[in-house]
Amino acid sequence: MKQIDFSIIIVTHNGLKYIDACVDSIFSSHIQNFEIIVVDNGSSDDTIKYLTNKYSKHTNLQIVPLDKNYGPARARNEGVKVAQGLYLGFLDNDTEVHKDWATHAKKAFEKDKKLGVIQCKLLLNKERHKLDYIGEYLGSNGFLVQKIPSATIDDGSYDKEYYILAAKSAGMFIRKNVFDRIGGFDASYFIYVEETDLGWRVWLAGYTAKFIPVSVVYHEFGTSTVILGTKATNYNSKFHGTKNYIQTHIKNLGTAGLVTILPLHITLWIGLSLFSLLKRQWKSSLWIMEGILWNVIHLPETLVKRRKIQKARRVKDAYLFKMFMKKMPFSYFFNKANVKHKIGNAESFNKLSDTNK
């Protein structure tokens, strides 16, 4: 049996409105020797029925049905369990791909054997002259920093390859053997920061993550709020965002980083909770504190993960910090958090973690 090059994994939850265009764009692209794996996270919108009927003649498309919404982290892992490709491509269900998006990724992997993760150039689907996302760095206080703001004009200024801390699953590739080696996504994350955790562990295992601008994906940003509703999105961003940020630092930081970064990071979350309280955002305040408490209750399990990750570490924090640590003024993070209170947009609030669901 011939080795498959690419396994393209798409997680969907009630995203029939978007996923059809996503799958169509893959079949219309120049990708060869591939399979598409759609993981349905307990949809109730006939996604499975529709895709099964429309693509019945495509033997390289399979659907993995799940009985409920387990979140994208676990769902992607379920897709990988049946994947046969050398390279895993992850797409959000609200994306479309450029015809050569996979061709360029394959060339990059073949050129650099240490390259573990590729971040595609994410453009806004409805405004394809604007950038959505091209990589992230780590702020000195533990929050993430985007390389550029979303909706930045794509004028060619960023059309060069460079290393990044982690990629966004709306459009990324990873070697399957690297994914398996580091244990895949942490299924306890449910949603938010799971991609950062994955990319960080890729670096710790001795591989790299890089932005490859010639691999282009178009992203319909912010559809989760439409599908899930504002309340659910707010809860996910506050509780899971807080929970997963802190857990990521406990797992992946070295001892020195843990001592210097984690206390400040938790203090800032407490400050955001108190700020929400002052703004009478009672639930937001509570959800943040619940996220902190989760880490206290589950600390023994997190420490088990930490020991495994640190034992396999091949790269020191000093090396990663030199590459990816960005010192930003507190106002940068405060303003991003404060956007939520001004316009009621959970996606904007979650730019603190630069996530995209």
Residues 152-190 have pLDDT tens digits of: 999 999 999 999 999 999 999 999 999 999 999 999 999
The CA–CA distances, whole Å, from 279 to 221, 271, 282, 286, 288 equal 27, 12, 8, 13, 14
Whole-number pLDDT of residue 355 = 37
What CATH architecture is 4-223? Answer: Alpha-Beta Complex (3.90)
Whole-number pLDDT of residue 345 = 33
DSSP per-residue codes, 94-116: TEEE-TTHHHHHHHHHHH-TTEE
Whole-number Å distance between alpha carbons of 104 and 173? 11
Q: Where along the chain do the CATH 3.90.550.10 domains lie?
A: 4-223
Cβ–Cβ < 8 Å for 227, 283? no
Q: Which residues pair with 118 in a beta bridge?
A: 173, 210
DSSP element (H, E) containing 40:
strand 34-41
Its pTM stands at 0.91
Q: Give the largest Cα separation in the chain, rounded.
A: 63
Residue type, 107: K
DSSP per-residue codes, 246-293: HHHHHHHS-HHHHHHHHHHHHHHHHHHHHHHHHTT-HHHHHHHHHHHH
Q: CA 84 from chain center: how many Å?
A: 22
Whole-number pLDDT of residue 344 = 32
Whole-number pLDDT of residue 333 = 64
Q: Which residues contact 255 (CB under 8 A, 6 or more apart)?
A: none
Whole-number Å distance between alpha carbons of 193 and 199? 10
- Report the residue count for the chain: 357
Whole-number Å distance between alpha carbons of 44 and 47? 8
Which residue is listed with tokens 């990724």? 105
Per the rule left: phi > 0, alpha: psi between -120 and 50, beta: everything else, 205 is alpha
How is the beta sheet containing 144-146 ordered, strand by strand?
144-146, 136-139, 325-326
Q: Which of 12, 5, 266 is nearest to 143 (CA)?
A: 266
Q: Is 194 exposed, middle or buried (0-12, 13-18, 19+ CB in 10 A)?
A: buried
Q: Please work out, in degrees rounded to the nearest 5, the angle formed at the alpha carbon of residue 355 by the alpha carbons of 290 and 254.
A: 70
Tokens (6 digits) for 6: 């690419």
pLDDT (tens digit, 0 to 9) for every residue of the chain, 357 residues total?
689 999 999 999 999 989 999 999 999 999 999 999 999 999 999 999 999 999 999 999 999 999 999 999 999 999 999 999 999 999 999 999 999 999 999 999 999 999 999 999 999 999 999 999 999 899 999 999 888 988 999 999 999 999 999 999 999 999 999 999 999 999 999 999 999 999 999 999 999 999 999 999 999 866 554 545 566 778 888 999 999 999 999 999 999 999 999 999 999 999 999 999 999 999 999 999 999 999 999 999 999 999 999 999 999 999 999 999 988 776 666 665 554 433 333 333 334 444 333
Q: Please work out, in degrees rounded to the nearest 5, the angle formed at the alpha carbon of residue 80 by the alpha carbons of 77 and 81.
A: 90
Whole-number Å distance between alpha carbons of 226 and 123? 20
Q: Which residues pair with 41 in a beta bridge?
A: 66
